[in-house]
Structure 1
């Protein structure tokens, strides 16, 4: 089945180049801003916070770990950011450091992953009377290949086309035997001229009978966060139809458009139809064109400085920037094609391949080395395998096995591909609906359980913070003044509204609820570098609470797996009840001063560090979700170390000032969330909070907390920065 979406103008390669040039010129100001952000602040601040956080999540790390690595000087001997116990140096840390440009060292599996990815990339050849055209393409499912529309513009062209794999040199420098497959547009052919892509079926067996599946596939993924501005990318290609070549980390993403990526290189540029990879060998874009250098008259220049002519080929253009089509946009468009029958099934297969956790899928298959040709074009001799051993030719061939070891990361929050959805699709993928989910990441990755990975990340953050000053008063003073610039304090209602707007707009990074990773290692440390229970004042080392939370997380996952094993298709209510039971019976050492039940455990409230505090489980359970209260005879009453509790009332022994300021922050940041039910803190409790705020003033501990949270989330607590504003703000208006 053949389907084509036409644009108003037939676009060949030259027109694609002109369009890319116009897009590039229109974004000059944005690129300058990205470049300045990269130079001044680094890769964490060049792209949008949402995209950066998604990228970090796909790397298996969080914002706190990234900022800890960023502010820690590298060691002189290794170049790595942190001088840590080798047990803590996981693939997560190495990938993060490489992403941030802090470490040029990479694991050896990086080369193996690239070698596997390269197997799925082939040279497309289209022969017609008087001409031979070449391009690059790559397998994206067991049956389908993708390339550019200007490489394969019609089913008729594809009928005359073939794709060759193994058109490359072996490890000994001698050419491998190419494996040639006929294209099969009668089974599947879709093309889009504006986005410059074509997806076509490939015959299941080569001319020599080798199965197409032996060359694997590069699953295409709709998930966000595959690459960000400032990141280096890789391109595997057949430039000018030559043997397969690699541009390794030589292109840097300089801009992200709705449909395209722009990336620049000093030397290596892409060729039409080539896959553009991140460092995890996930395909982030389909290379299709670029921006050429021009003379004063606007003529395109060739690499030797002469005027470029189309007959020279695209590899002779003097490119100054590259352009690729974003994979997420291509996938969204493919879903809009009105397919049915076998073609729809092949499309569904494409999206099923994209749901794989692996960046590359290649079944074991030996590669064959060309040891001799009748025309004498290649000498005979032994070939060397990846392990350095030589294999002698048997019946004219040599083979080796490539070991497979690919590290993957789970992205539970990423939207999943939708298979074979017909009708008119939205221009952009819809947001994933909220739902009740299992404990994140219940599988083992890179040899570690999720609890072990979280504990390692927490210990890494703790090690990174150990060299930092506890509180930089001068720096925080400057940050505070800049943060509240332009906010007037004369009108109580206007002040509240202005603060609410400022707190929300600057809440750029919204970490999920993981106290082990961010709260315990740095945010909630007291000047003695210990954690103190907010209600009891009892002290703990950070490691104590980290290890306790890791044990609780592991137990939760184990019990969750038991639940799913014994329950047959539990509904949402049963799942939610089980998750609530797990959290209640295996609590973390953390207190939400605004109880989670008051906001239905929703993010970003649940993970907002401003109202999270270390708290041992007995005190956490003792308080429950009961509102704060001020007992008139508190000092004389018999009470536990955590405080005093009566029906519907709780007064803590310690931490009244921090608890009050955190609650007041919550009222400003999330107006209308507290007090909408009778069992929650009501408007009449405002004076109690203001009294606690006044009687227990801000100290060094809270100043440190506020500065640390601002560095992670972006927003601040006004009651810590300006205690005097408490009596000016119209807090009553923040209640429902």
Structure 2
């Protein structure tokens, strides 16, 4: 959340409470330092905590992280001291459970009524429908209605961004807020803009009972600091004070993010984080990190912080329970108070299964079993793996996954000595195609990269006596007819065969077979790229043979779908018009005019987001691949080339773009035309156009005649 006057006031109030509690907190802190944290608590709270830990130990499927060996001693006199005094030791599943619970947490993209991002916060699901965040993040129903929550804004184990899944907020269904307790509860739409079900993510229950944490215990925070990718702060916050509606916890890291859940080691929510506690002098003035006085108007990053403050869950539950609500909203509130969610592991497994089959069946969290047996091992929350060996018998609606030994998915190799390649040896089934692709690459070194004279003759013959109509709509129709009728060869999507060996090569004076990523301008070896994508083909074949998913309502098993394989093992290729917009159908999928080499991390960074031109002052996520925020992506390079490729698509395939909201609109088309004019056609694009003409029979008019852009009504290509 950005610092505002209201937020600064919240921080000041937290600082005042911190100072007022010093007389109580300091003696308790001394007990904690001496290893006698129990002496800082009342006997009733100690017994309540022991009771919750004992309950967790007796119900392992419903508990989240209690070390089983500790369970028999929990009720002994020394039991709690042992829990608090050996805090550096937790069961290894603690890390897996942390990742599982993190699925429930999303970034709040706070938008103005005009749709512009004005800030970010964190929120988390607390029922199948309701999301909890701070009042100062979403202070009104109108603010919530304009905003959205984004799940999976995080990096995978390879450091690559996952596709963001955004859900609309629906305050008309449920909205409750309190400035005093600084919380907001709001309903979330059941499906994302891409049709992904909300129940794939799970929720954390708000428990009003005592015993979730005692002074001296470590706490954990899952957050989107300053709107950045999701981060987890594990066990570095120590609970030092509980009073009234507030919890204070200290850490040596930066303050948590507004709206973040604060968990105990059993992954129960202890508090809703809402503010850092700023350092103050004897006169109550805020201090900078160097100890000098911070004044209004100065950079908030200079403030020194001494602790964090959260709103206690017990206070939130008490307030939520006391409100009088209409029947429909009361029912949603009752779900929050009464429903018991699946454990973190169960929710994560269900979510990963649903991700894996990518909406190709009706499997949801409600149809998954409560126990999946002991043979499968699930790495949460990013991938699903399995023990090697006999096939695991799957319950209804759950894939049985058994993978034979295999190398990790090959990543796009950066330019190095192009030979020898380190890609795995191809199987006999793919060797002939690989040999053909490498042979074409060898021939590329022996032929002119771009013969301008020959291409001029071919261009003249292609357009013949076409007279572009003066009417812009008619011009679009005439060019569509030409591009469609001459698209006589329609190669299926296979970039390692049709794109890398010749079409997408960059001419270098030294004769190297380099390829340049369209978004990042990184250079790669064409040979290594070809071999890598053929290795991916082979791994897909092996996975297809090894993975089955059950048919819903039928006995026979179905083969794994291509969507899952493509997500697990993607090519290093970008569709300028995302495949999801046209259902991955041919000939659009294999049309070389809108295919470009692009490493996987840039491909994932863009996702299926439409192009956009950001003003320099916008707060967006940036990388070598470009700039991004939900619904908007500006490439780091290649803007002219991707604009011309998109405009070609609007000519060749009218009606396929913008059949749904969130793709392209007339103003975005104007942006593409502006990119086309600002970034002139290069020799590389002339080479591509001529090479594609040889392979599939049609050309891109925007490359051949750049001035035609002002004479064509490209909005005629939009659907919807």
TM-score, scaled relative to structure 2: 0.45
